[in-house]
A and B are shown apart, each in its own frame.
Chain A
């Protein structure tokens, strides 16, 4: 993807109010193509709200979002997804009643043929599309965990927590996004599991070179290890940005976030 500027996403003065609460306050943020940005900040600093505004779940009260040259503020979640932005959720939102494959097929929704005639009458063509989708799903799951890929048609309910996180990231990747938003994928995991998940994430980056990722994360060691650049939020505002070394040396960040004087 070589179109346009070096920035994939530009947010200007992005604001979201809930009644009197300003969850996001005049945020300016730019994303470079292909980078992995860490988004950090204390609880309630507006990280998840930023994702929710960006994916259209809450329209911004004020401000603009420009994604690859096109304005996106106020667009519906479906349009934003079609533009190439996809996400995971802090609390897993997989459909537990469905199989791993079904969940991944939900991720691939916009590439699949949903016409009634195709689905009901052209069953051979449908089967071929299902095979191709299953092959793509297997390929993605194998990046994370080959044994998991062999359980493609098992229900989600029997899948362990760490594997659910992996499936959720794969579901997002199934749509072949250009911007992937990961909302605290390591929540509730042991240190060892987190390390493995981040290894997988780095592998995903190697395979999808032009994929841009924003990662919300509380674990500083993770941020230090996988991100090139981070943005620190506090009270819905950008406190500072830079490499992890720069950011963690900033006295204001240390005061607000790390609890140090």
Chain B
């Protein structure tokens, strides 16, 4: 690996983030489905052209992952400022980012360790309900968010025993059963609000209430802008964490467990230990995202955490290309935003959306972006 100069790295990263930011801006700003189509087309052309010509990989490589992430964060910040008084767009952005964080959790489980989880929405819900219950106390809200992750991970540990004894479809079935069980449990549990659910107060950090609209720099910011910012920070943290885990000995061990349990065992790799680690870390990420999401929306009910929602999360993973973080991010944006953007065509929007998903998978059976080999994480050029 040759290291480019700091200037080259910054310029490459900013160029990438600028293009991404412009495309996102166009997508979010437009009201007409024709423009949405044109922007999607432009995105496809830009990405395909960038890949074909080799410009895109070269830019990413020249910049390095850290600067690219930082620059993407900046372009999200720019978008938040641009849409500072548009709660609908801000909510849409924040939702997509939180779903992305949840999908990163699933990614660690399914794409890294090979542990399926069809109860993603349930663990998202565990995080949300934890935030709702703890929100009645005086605990600091950052602590409550951490607790959302911890409780989701702890509840997930109930599934460990059956999950370690099964694999593939059978393991998937266990998580499906858990998801259904969780929802029924919520519906009959009066302390958790039953079918009506619970209300939450908003996020409050160091006396700053995220729910209130505020004047900053002479602009009227909607409260959602601050939630969106929190979601950006959480998403950047989650991406960086997952990337580091993957580009380390932990990632190698998880790959070994996923690809060949027998060979892994013969080289001293404890199958159980790594499945537990991946499942727990994944659920913790999903739980934190669920906690923040519940605080932002201000209300949760069993109906938000159905099996269908879990399926949406898994389908984002498959659509993006199992094992590829860039693909995952694009798929999360598409799946969350597209149905909203296609609202003008009413009942046809889910039809069109489904056709698009099928088309993508027909044209790219491995998902939008393929899994790439792990890049060396040593310091020497090999």
Contacts and interface: CB of A to CB of B under 8 A. Distances in A.
Given A114-B249, A116-B250, A95 B259 contact: yes
A43 interface: no
A76 to B, nearest CB: 8
B139 interface: no
Interface string B216-252: 0000000000000000000000000100110011101
A153 interface: yes
B94 to A, nearest CB: 26
A144 interface: no
Size bracket of the A interface: 35 or more
Given A95-B255, A95-B259, A155-B373, A114 B250 contact: yes
A98 B380 CA distance: 20
B324 to A, nearest CB: 13
Interface in B36-61: none
Main secondary structure of the interface of A (DSSP, over half): helix
Contact of A106 (B252, B270, B373): B252
Contacts of B377: 123, 126-127, 130
Interface in B337-373: 371, 373
A45 interface: no
Interface in A73-111: 76-78, 81-82, 86-87, 89, 93-95, 97-99, 101-102, 105-107, 109-110
Contacts of A81: 265-268
A95 B256 contact: yes
Contacts of B379: 124, 127-128, 130-131
Nearest to A121: B244
A119 B251 CA distance: 9
A131 B264 CA distance: 22
B379 to A, nearest CB: 4
B263 A131 contact: no
B253 interface: yes
A107 B267 contact: yes
A175 B266 CA distance: 11
Nearest to B248: A119
A124 B379 CA distance: 8
A75 B250 CA distance: 25
B241 A152 contact: no
Interface of B: 241, 244-245, 248-250, 252-253, 255-256, 259-260, 262-270, 371, 373-380, 382
Given A81-B266, A102-B255, A109-B267, 5 more contacts: A95-B260, A114-B249, A133-B378, A134-B380, A153-B376
11 contacts: A56-B265, A94-B263, A95-B255, A95-B260, A98-B255, A102-B255, A110-B267, A123-B244, A133-B378, A171-B267, A175-B267
